[in-house]
Structure 1
Amino acid sequence: MKDFNKKENKIVVVHYGNIMLYPPVINLVENLINNDYSVTLMAGNTKKLPDFVLKSSNLQIIDFPIIASKKIIKRLQRRFLIGHYYKDALRKIMDPGDIVWTTTDSTVRALNTALLKYKHIMQLMELDDFFPLFDGAKLLKFNLEKYGKHAWKIVVPEINRAYIQKVKWRLKETPCILPNKPYYLSPGEMDDSVIRAIEIIEKDPRKKIMYLGVLSVDRNLEPFAKAVEKMGEDYALYTLGNVPNSEQEKFNQFLAKHPQVFYLGFFNPPNHLHFLKYAYVGLTPYSTDFKSIFISPLNVLYCAPNKIYEYAGYGIPMLGTDVLGLKIPFEQYGIGFCCINLEPETIAKGLKYIDINHEKMRQNCLRFYEDTDLDKILASIING
Structure 2
Amino acid sequence: MKNRIVLTMIYDIKLFPPVMSICNILSELNYEIVYIGGCSDATIEKALTEKNYVRFYRTSLYGGNGIQRIFQQWRYRKQVLRILETEYIPKNTFLWLLHSETVSLFSGVLERYDTIAHLFEFKNPSQKWAYKLLNPFSSFEANLKKSKRVICCEYNRAHITKAIYNLDKLPYILPNKPYNKQQSEELLILPPSIQELVSKYREKKIILYQGIFIPERKVDDFIEAVNLLPNDYVLFLMGGGTSLYNELKNKYQSDRIVFLPFLPPPLHLEITKLAHIGIFVYIVNGVPINHAINVLYCAPNKLYEYSKFGIPMIANDLPALNMVFSQNKAGVCLQTLSAEEISRAILEIDYDYDAYSKASNQLYSSIDMVDLVKTILSDED
* TM-score bracket for the superposition, by shorter chain length: 0.7 to 0.9
Q: Is the 8 A contact 2:110 2:144 kept in 1?
A: no
Opposite residue 40 of structure 1, the aligned amino acid is: V
- Bigger shift: residues 106-115 or 308-317: 106-115
Task: Report the Cα offset of residue 209 of structure 1.
Answer: 0.9
Structure 1 SS opposite 2:371: helix
Q: Deviations over 1:236-285 (max 9, x none)?
A: 22122353xxxx22333333343353331111111101112321111121
The match for 1:378 is: 373
Aligned to 1:318: 313
Provide the rounded CA distance (Å) in 1 between the counterparts of 2:313 and 2:246. Answer: 25
Whether the 8 Å CA contact 2:98–2:119 is kept in 1: the answer is: yes
Paired position in structure 2 for 1:157: 153
- Which runs of at least 4 in structure 1 moved beyond 6 Å after TM superposition? none
**Residue equivalent to 1:253:** 247
Residue 238 of structure 2: aligned partner:
240
TM-score, with normalisation over the residues of structure 1? Answer: 0.87
Q: Does 1:92 align with 2:90?
A: no
Aligned equivalents of 2:105, 2:240: Cα separation in 1: 23
Choose from 100, 110, 117 the match for 1:115: 110
C-alpha change, 1:342 and 1:143, in structure 2 (3 Å) is: farther
Counterparts of 1:159 and 1:361, CA distance in 2 = 23
Preserved CA contact (<8 Å) 2:47 2:184: no
Q: For residues 197 and 255 of structure 1, do their structure 2 counterparts lie closer, same or farther at Cα, with a shift above 3 Å needed?
A: same
Report the equivalent of 2:206. 208
**Counterpart among 146, 159, 163 of residue 142 in structure 2:** 146
Paired residue secondary structure (2:352): helix
Distance 1:275 1:131 in 2: 39
TM-score normalised according to structure 2 size:
0.88
- 1:125 pairs, out of 99, 120, 139, with 120
More displaced stretch, 366-375 vs 234-243: 234-243
Say if 2:280 is the partner of 1:284: yes
Per-residue CA deviation, residues 273-325 of structure 1 (Å, 9 max, x unaligned), is 11123211111212224x54485212111111111111111111111111122
> Are 1:10 and 2:4 counterparts?
yes
Task: Please tell me whether the aligned partners of residues 119 and 152 of structure 1 are also in contact (alpha carbons under 8 angstroms).
Answer: yes
1:218, distance to aligned residue in structure 2 (A): 4.5
Q: Distance in 2 between matches of 1:148 and 1:217?
A: 34
Aligned to 2:20: 26
Cα distance in structure 2, aligned partners of 1:270 and 1:314: 14
More divergent stretch after superposition (125-134 vs 295-304): 125-134
Code of the residue aligned with 1:161 in structure 2: it is R
Partner residue of 2:225?
227
CA deviations on 1:43-76 (whole Å, 9 max, x unpaired) are 111743275532247532211121433x444323
Determine if contact 1:282/1:316 at 8 Å carries over to the other structure.
yes
Instruction: Determine which of 66, 73, 82 is the counterpart of 1:79.
Output: 73
Relative to structure 1, is the Cα distance of residues 362 and 50 closer, same or farther in structure 2, using a 3 angstrom cutoff? farther
Change in CA separation of 1:264 and 1:295 when aligned onto 2, cut-off 3 Å: farther
- Contact preservation (8 Å) 1:27, 1:182: yes
The residue type paired with residue 209 of structure 1 is: I
Choose 226-235 or 15-24, whichever is displaced more: 226-235
The one-letter amino acid of 2:192's match is I
Q: Is the 8 A contact 1:100 1:121 kept in 2?
A: yes
SS in 2 for 1:208: strand
In 2: Cα distance, 1:231 partner to 1:187 partner: 39
Q: Per-residue deviation at 1:109?
A: 3.0
2: distance between equivalents of 1:125 and 1:294?
Answer: 16
Computed over aligned residues only, the root mean square deviation of the Cα atoms, in angstroms, reads 2.7
Q: Quick one: which of 265, 268, 284 aligns to 2:264?
A: 268
How many residues of Structure 1 are paired with residues of Structure 2 in the alignment? 368
Q: 1:187 to 1:76 in 2, by over 3 A?
A: same
- 1:326 CA displacement: 1.4
Identical amino acids, percent of aligned pairs: 27
Aligned residue in 2 for 1:53: 48
Residue identity in the other structure for 2:195: I
Change (3 A) 1:294 1:250: farther
The answer on 1:344 being equivalent to 2:339 is: yes
Q: Deviations over 1:92-121 (max 9, x none)?
A: 321111210111012123334233301111
